[in-house]
Structure 1
Amino acid sequence: NCHKYWWRNALYINSLYPRKEMCMLWSWYLANDTQFYVLGTILLLISSRFFRVATVGLFLLLISSSVTTALISLSYDHIVSVSTPFILFDELYDKPWLRLGPYLVGLMTGWFVHRTKCTLRISKAIVFIGWFVSLSTLFALVYGLYWFELSITSSAIYVSLGHTA
């Protein structure tokens, strides 16, 4: 498809189109990253003058990304399965509005570290608890599907929070 759709890759918009029309299937991630860099730059520019507006916008984007993912999952009656991870690739995997959550969390974290000038001190107990919760979440997301079959509703929750968690 590269002879026909190369220009989508050059403009970094190829992730907005169906998988069958993609040139270099793996490049959807580059398109998403570039779109997120542009959005992140805009949010940071807005935050330098209107911090509260940017913060509200960022949280609205984060929530709408999760809600959109859940609604799409519900509309397809999607049940998450280890054996068919990419069954809804176009609908639930590669689109930027579905992948925005982790980028926004990273953007918020970077902004927080910048604003506090890295002066935040955390006790070892809190650090340990944070690592424990993080690793537990990671293992639950990655290996949890081997032991449980999710319902349509729990699959929608899993899909909507899985990327960001």
Structure 2
Amino acid sequence: MVDLTSAGKVGILFGYCPQQDALDELLTGWEHLQYYCSLRGIPKQYIPEVAADLVRRLHLEPHVDKPVATYSGGTRRKLSTALALVGKPDILLLDEPSSGMDPCSKRYLWQTISQEVQDGCAAVLTSHSMEECEALCTRLAIMVDGSFRCLGPPQHIKNRRHCAFICFDKRSEEKVIAGSR
């Protein structure tokens, strides 16, 4: 578990994958990975090994030597996630990580994120996909208009899903409250 109260003192490393990919269209995936590795302080002799591992884990092999301008939306998401994973971060912040990916690519991405969590990385993600949340999360929070409406394990949220969505409507909320007496 990561103790955020001492984050500044111990140098906790964050990995961030924004919803809008922050990639240079002219660079290749390999060049992005090498650049991020050097920014993260990975010794020069280990950069090819670290980059190759991320390419393999996220199945970027067919694309890594091509300019990002040629990538599909799903391939861009995979590269953005790979960049977030450079340097084995303590905490991953992922905004819609599998958006635009085909089902097979999603599974590889989810396996990669799950492995990072098993290895001790904390992950926080935003997603519109309940399937993605069930695959990756131990706790969910449903937010509506900037307020948390439900919080708990995925199965708890899923079991209460109908009620959770009804109670967002003031008129329906009265029915739920009346029905629960």
TM-score of the two chains, using structure 2 as the length reference = 0.20
Bigger RCO (CA 8 Å, 6+ sep):
1
- Larger relative strand fraction: 2
Q: TM-score, normalised on structure 1? A: 0.21
